[in-house]
Structure 1
Amino acid sequence: MKIDNKPWFWIPLLNFASGLPYAIIISVSVIMYKNLGISNEDIGVYTSLLYLPWVVKPLWSPLIELIGTKRKWFLSMQLLISIAFLLVGLAIPTNGFFMMSLAIFWVAAFASASNDIATDGFYLLVLPEDKQSFFIGIRSTFYRLSMLAGNGLVVLFAGYLEHKYGDNTKAWSYTMICVGLLMTFITAYNFIFTPKNEINAVESKKETPHQNFGTIFISFFKKKQIGLILAFVLVFRLGESQLLKMLSPFLLDGKELGGMGLDTEAVGIIYGTFGVAALTLGGILGGIAISRHGLTKWMFPMFLAMHLPIIGFILLAFFHPASIYYIYIVVILEQFGYGFGFTAFMMYLIHVAEGESKTAHYALATGFMAMGMMLPGMLSGFIQQYLGYGNFFIWVLIATIPGLILSRFLTFPKDFGKKS
């Protein structure tokens, strides 16, 4: 039986603990390596390879489904992530820091992917179904807030230390150590406040004795419309995957390189202030909209809201306005649209995972999503160097079209997500 144990106390920070490691490993590492002298091409290739654990996580998701409880899994993985970030901070001042830090990030990425599997499964098991559509907006909002805490507050802190010490290496070393300490605090919080009771593996196997490692995979690929579903999940974030990799270099590069010429601290301020507010509002409104009217009515408008703000970056790249306030406007629109639109995508993935083995099936769906992020992201640095920033952002906008087209052919219950 599902239980409702004060979700406002545990859903926000539990999902923050999923998003923050992802933000640091996938996004903040881009800014860090950029400021430590690594080229755009190397940044695009090597930081995109860090997606791989999220791509292949379905291979071990049945183990999390069948062994132990989700709570034990995510607490253990969050502790491992905390230690990994501390080690990255200690590795940065050393010779060969690039490969050494990448190796540690890889360990953290596998732990983070496992944490995501357990966290998603915990949410689906513990929260009553009639509240999942509302709290999916809260989940995605706090997940995205953690991304902004990384791209905003963590980057702002690193920029402050860069100015204070005049030494990027020392600044980023101290920053990563502080991130490790923050993750330690979040892990302790989740240990205290997450519900202790859930449907554990033993109980699940009593209810569904036929389930095993192999049948969990096979049952996923027998779902209705599975070919269309996988095509949609793979291409939906085709544009976003490239945008995320090159957006920070665009803001940091000088105008002679086609960028906006901002410093690290300015980027942190932009994403850590108005960006946070816009994202929060968008995610909450997205969850409310779906819970009131269902996913069918809102899916396509939400997807448009998520993708159309890319036009703002096209305009910035071609006109390079002198006032920083234009950058604020574009970021606010982009963050609001993302918070609003991504809620629909996450709600659709919950529909895909419906049935037995929700944890493993949700992991499979998000694994294909990660593959759709990794491969284009690896090429993004080369594409940007070839096209220049303005034409690159035009290409990114065009790359969102296949996902929009495929979304029109997806079928699901008309009122799916609507609160009864």
Structure 2
Amino acid sequence: MKTDNKPWFWIPLLNFASGLPYAIIISVSVIMYKNLGITNEDIGVYTSLLYLPWVIKPLWSPLIELIGTKRKWFLLMQLIISIAFLLVGFTIPLNGFFTMTLSIFWVAAFASASNDIASDGFYLLVLPEDKQSFFIGIRSTFYRLSMLAGNGLVVLFAGYLEHKFGDNTKAWSYTMICVGLLMTFITVYNFIFTPKNEINAVENKKETPHQNFGTIFISFFKKKQIGLILTFILVFRLGESQLLKMLSPFLLDSKELGGMGLDTEAVGIIYGTCGVAALTIGGILGGIAISKQGLTKWMFPMFLAMHLPIIGFILLAFFHPTSIYYIYAVVIVEQFGYGFGFTAFMMYLIHVAEGESKTAHYALATGFMALGMMLPGMLSGYIQKFLGYQNFFVWVLIATIPGLILSRFLTFPKDFGKKSEEV
């Protein structure tokens, strides 16, 4: 298969393989540990620390830039992730499972961060630039679909097993083993269908023989507006980082504790059905909008679409409606807005990575993004306990404001992201 044809065959599953491990490690682990008796405070701290590999991945991203091919890297990392999830499944029934599973998740997180570096670089190098704006929406959609497959279908499956066995430990053990097998299948698929030749990567190395580990880092921090860029990346997801950590506990906690009192299976159904559809539509429309009219026109409206749905969770926390359809409505709006809006953010990160060493520079940008997710997430459990769910969601909405303000001062080509020809 040639590198420049049929991107529909490899882009969806390659990005699914990036999002699924992230979902399991960062999000599904929250629900798993909640149902296995771990406190909100410990969940917030220790699962947020699992972000660290994504924060520090720029430290080894030049190695992936300079050694081997991106394809070999992401296939190896996906294999390691598959094995890690299988080990988590076998470890859950053991004494001291919390420490052991966290350690395995830590290994999987490093492999997943490396997989992201290689997959992102592969996409930037193999796909022509004029097609990237269109497929960024597809990438973002399948990345988020994989996260919903974790937060939705995997959680739904775990909830079903909880009811079937009456044993949360057994249910989550079997669930993680199945996730490991699914990840193995995806790895095999990507081995078969991803392009074998990285032509653009070879040409890039010929054109830039002077690059080395140090110059790659230095060139990133010499970019125009770099101080503003890094500040924006760090604060843009300040609210979202806390929302993601406490949203599942909010849905699962009893109404006496301020939560919605749902069971695991109900949470999986909500995110695995309507949530999937809304996110898919939002992501595709976001990519189409940018490819037709450029990022300048759509950045701020997309960011608003991403953040304003938090108001829905504020209303749920204050009024606790008895009908589950209100929760469905809030999730549909939130997932559509997220799919639509996050496309603009990812497209901007592609702009930040423009120039030589796209793979390493994109890894640096996303590393700062992960730092902006990790630090607030570590405190989210304590903030939620102090404020209560009602005031916590109000605070989360307020925390989105700095990123919105900073976005108005970013500069980039007016038509950036607008495709010049049909895909």
| Distance verdict in 2 for CA 1:203–1:131, change over 3 Å | closer
Task: Give the TM-score of the pair, scaled to structure 2.
Answer: 0.98
Q: In structure 2, what is the Cα distance between the partners aligned to 1:91 and 1:274?
A: 33
Deviations 1:375-407 (A, max 9, x none): 000000000000000000000000000000000
Note if contact 1:50-1:105 (Cα within 8 Å) is conserved in structure 2: yes
Asked if structure 2 preserves the Cα contact closer than 8 Å seen for 1:26 and 1:48, the reply is: yes
Given that residues 3 and 199 in structure 2 are in contact (C-alpha distance below 8 angstroms), is that contact kept between their aligned partners in structure 1? no
Alpha-carbon contact 1:353-1:359 (below 8 Å) kept:
yes
CA distance in structure 1 between the partners assigned to 2:330 and 2:164 by the alignment: 29
Tell me if the contact between 1:3 and 1:128 (Cα under 8 Å) persists in the aligned partners: no
Equivalent residue runs for 1:213-224 within 5 Å: 213-224=213-224
Worse-superposed segment, 336-345 or 192-201: 192-201
The 5 Å alignment of 1:231-246 reads 231-246=231-246
Conserved? CA contact 1:67–1:201, under 8 Å: no
Cα deviation digits, residues 2-28 of structure 1 (max 9, x gap): 941210000000000000000000000
* Cα separation, 2, equivalents of 1:244 and 1:414: 32
Mapped contact 1:66–1:201 kept (Cα < 8 A): no
Deviations 1:347-381 (A, max 9, x none): 00000000000000000000000000000000000
Contact 2:13 2:190 in 1 (8 A): yes
Q: Measure, in 2, the Cα distance between the counterparts of 1:213 and 1:399.
A: 36
Displacement after TM superposition at 1:38 (Å): 0.1
- SS of residue matched to 2:199: coil
Please give the per-residue CA displacement for 1:243-284, whole angstroms capped at 9, x wherever unaligned: 000000000000000000000000000000000000000000
1:209 Cα deviation (Å)? 1.2
C-alpha deviation, 1:205, in angstroms:
3.2
The alignment partner of 1:121 has SS state of helix
C-alpha separation in 2, matches of 1:53 and 1:6: 32
- Greater CA deviation, 2-11 or 306-315? 2-11
Give the distance between the partners of 1:149 and 1:263, measured in 2 at CA: 17
State the 1:207 CA deviation.
Answer: 1.9
Q: Structure 1, residues 65-124: CA drift from partner, whole Å, max 9, x if none?
A: 000000000000000000000000000000000000000000000000000000000000
Distance in 2 of aligned mates of 1:139 and 1:389 = 33
Query: Any stretches of 5+ residues in structure 2 without a counterpart?
Result: none
**Quick one: distance in 2 between partners of 1:269 and 1:308?**
23
Q: Is the 8 A contact 1:84 1:107 kept in 2?
A: yes
What is the SS of the residue equivalent to 2:2? Answer: coil
In 2, Cα distance between the equivalents of 1:288 and 1:202?
Answer: 30
Q: Work out whether residues 54 and 110 of structure 1, in 8 Å CA contact, stay in contact via their aligned partners in 2.
A: yes
Cα distance, 1:344–1:201 mapped onto 2, change above 3 Å: closer
**Deviation of 1:200 (Å):** 7.5
Q: Tell me the secondary structure at the aligned position of residue 200 of structure 1.
A: helix
CA contact (8 A) 2:126 2:200 kept: no
Question: Which residue of structure 2 lines up, in the alignment, with residue 108 of structure 1?
Answer: 108
Work out the CA distance in 2 between the residues paired with 1:96 and 1:167: 17
Decide whether the 8 Å contact of 2:153 with 2:268 is kept in 1.
yes
2:203 and 2:3 mapped to 1: Cα distance? Answer: 15
Which residue of structure 2 lines up, in the alignment, with residue 341 of structure 1?
Answer: 341
CA–CA separation in structure 2 for the residues paired with 1:335 and 1:200: 35
Instruction: Give 3-state SS (helix, strand or coil) of 2:198's partner.
Output: coil
Q: Deviations over 1:150-190 (max 9, x none)?
A: 00000000000000000000000000000000000000000
Distance 1:417 1:316 in 2: 37
* RMSD between superposed Cα atoms in Å: 1.2
> Equivalents in 2 of 1:201, 1:132: separation in Å?
16
Give the CA deviation at 1:328: 0.1
Distance across 2 between alignment mates of 1:255 and 1:284: 36
1:199 positional shift: 3.6
Write the distance in 2 (CA, Å) between the matches of 1:225 and 1:2: 38
Name the CA distance, whole Å, in 2 between partners of 1:79 and 1:3: 23
Q: How has the CA–CA distance of structure 1 residues 415 and 292 changed in structure 2, closer, same or farther, with 3 Å as cutoff?
A: same
Q: Shift of residue 206 of structure 1?
A: 2.7
Distance 1:138 1:389 in 2: 34
- 8 Å CA contact 2:125–2:201 kept in 1: the answer is no
Which stretches of structure 1, 4 residues or more, deviate above 4 A after TM superposition?
200-203
Q: 1:3 to 1:244 in 2, by over 3 A?
A: same
CA distance in 2, matches of 1:128, 1:40: 45
In 2, distance between residues paired with 1:56 and 1:7?
Answer: 30
Paired with 1:2 and 1:409, the residues of 2 have a C-alpha distance of 41
Q: Conserved in 2, the CA contact under 8 Å of 1:10 and 1:194?
A: yes
Q: Distance between the aligned counterparts of 1:329 and 1:273, measured in 2?
A: 12
Scaled by the length of structure 1, what TM-score is found?
0.99
Count the aligned residue pairs. Answer: 420
CA gap 1:170/1:51 in 2 versus in 1, 3 angstroms: same
Cα gap change, 1:301/1:201 in structure 2, threshold over 3 Å: closer, same or farther?
closer
